[in-house]
Amino acid sequence: NNLRDQNSHVMMLGFPVSERIGGRISEMDWQSLELPVLSDYKTPNRFFKGFRKDIKGFEMADMRKFFLKEKISLEWLNTKNWSPDNLVSRGNLSKDIKKMKFLFVGAGALGSMLSETLVRSGIIQLDIVDSDILEMGNLTRHSLTATDIGEYKATSMEKKLTESFIHYRGKGFNMTIEEFFEKQDFDMNEYDVIIETTGNDKVLDLIASKKLNLIVISTSLGLYAKRMYINIQHGSKVALTKFKESISEWIEKDREEFSHMEYPRDGLGCWHPLFPARIDHLSLLASSSVSIIESDISKSKESLTIIERGELGTVSILKRKEFADEN
């Protein structure tokens, strides 16, 4: 009787199924059908033929018209299973990683690519912290679009990720990481992984100063996206100063290799020493880093990996150091 509103309604029927016949129930398979529009006070009087226009009369009239006629067919609707596992079954990450909660520091070009790749691969819980606003010049490499210009990158990415994967439950925070650490009233250790994508020494130092019982990952790019540096450590013993020291020689190498290049002028978008880089070069390194991050998290490895872009769209590991091997 609650459905007497002149509208059609959908009934969902759930069937418990297992991956294999006779096995443990693993999920519900839902099928839907459209219910008939039930009578109410707005229904023409001729529909009732002797029944009063009240709840009892509605029930009797609907029983006679719909539910006692054998020739009336059920209106089954085309139904698809949109469970998280089914949606990413053709390209998902390992189950253990998909259960983790991620915090992204930085929603620039690299942060946008990495976060979108992870969410489209099945990560449900991923928050983003960034105080910047999207500018036109950012669009050369950013996954956001012109409709987001003038908006905060963090909440714009939250909206895009929600539209990219319907099960995504992350949130964007329009603030600096300093403000985030100061103002959030929840325990930072509710996260499993922090991925820092700013390439900013102050951000690295701030994260290293916190006692975080989680995995801390720092990702940064060299000039012209020639190389990418990926540092993975556990929070209880984060020593990001060693990471900075380890890549300093490669940063200097960048300067030497590209000393003849003229940096772009300070035009549209914010200028940064890492500014000169094509989107295909950046995305090539970013996608490779996802594989490294997944592998090292799954195997509980702490590592420093330097990857380099080669000719014809190739990527190679330039240096790989697993800290666990030193113990």
Taking only the tens place, the pLDDT of each residue in 256-299 is 877 776 655 544 434 444 457 889 999 999 999 999 999 999 99
What integer pLDDT is reported at residue 257 of this predicted model? Answer: 79
What integer pLDDT is reported at residue 269 of this predicted model? Answer: 39
Would you say residue 202 has pLDDT above 90?
no
Report the alpha-carbon distance of residue 99 to residue 122 in Å, rounded. Answer: 9
Would you say residue 246 has pLDDT above 90?
no
Query: Do residues 22 and 31 touch, judged by C-beta distance below 8 A?
Result: no
What integer pLDDT is reported at residue 159 of this predicted model? Answer: 97
Of all residues in the chain, the percent with pLDDT exceeding 90 is 51
Strand partners, 29: 15
Output 190 or 154, whichever has higher pLDDT: 154
pTM: 0.79
The structural domains of the chain, ordered by start, are 9-81 (no CATH), 86-326 (3.40.50.720)
Of all residues in the chain, the percent with pLDDT exceeding 70 is 91
For the segment 119-128, what is each residue's pLDDT rounded down to a tens digit?
A: 999 999 999 9
Q: How far is CA 74 from CA 7, 67, 81, 284, in A?
A: 17, 10, 20, 51
Report the alpha-carbon distance of residue 185 to residue 52 in Å, rounded. Answer: 60
Q: How confident is the model at residue 12 (pLDDT cuts 50, 70, 90)?
A: very high
User: Tell me, what amino acid is at 34?
Assistant: E
Report the alpha-carbon distance of residue 68 to residue 70 in Å, rounded. Answer: 6
Length of the chain: 327
Greatest alpha-carbon pair distance for the chain in Å reads 95
Would you say residue 254 has pLDDT above 90?
no
Report the alpha-carbon distance of residue 31 to residue 327 in Å, rounded. Answer: 55
Which structure tokens are listed for 19? 């991956």
Output 244 or 312, whichever has higher pLDDT: 312
Q: How confident is the model at residue 131 (pLDDT cuts 50, 70, 90)?
A: very high
For the segment 50-62, what is each residue's pLDDT rounded down to a tens digit?
A: 888 899 999 998 9
What integer pLDDT is reported at residue 326 of this predicted model? Answer: 47
Residues 186, 118, 105, 202, CA torsion sign: positive
Query: Do residues 157 and 112 touch, judged by C-beta distance below 8 A?
Result: yes
Report the alpha-carbon distance of residue 108 to residue 275 in Å, rounded. Answer: 11
Q: How confident is the model at residue 160 (pLDDT cuts 50, 70, 90)?
A: very high
Task: Taking residues 136-152, report their average pLDDT.
Answer: 93
Q: What is the mean pLDDT of the chain?
A: 86
Report the alpha-carbon distance of residue 53 to residue 42 in Å, rounded. Answer: 10
What integer pLDDT is reported at residue 274 of this predicted model? Answer: 44
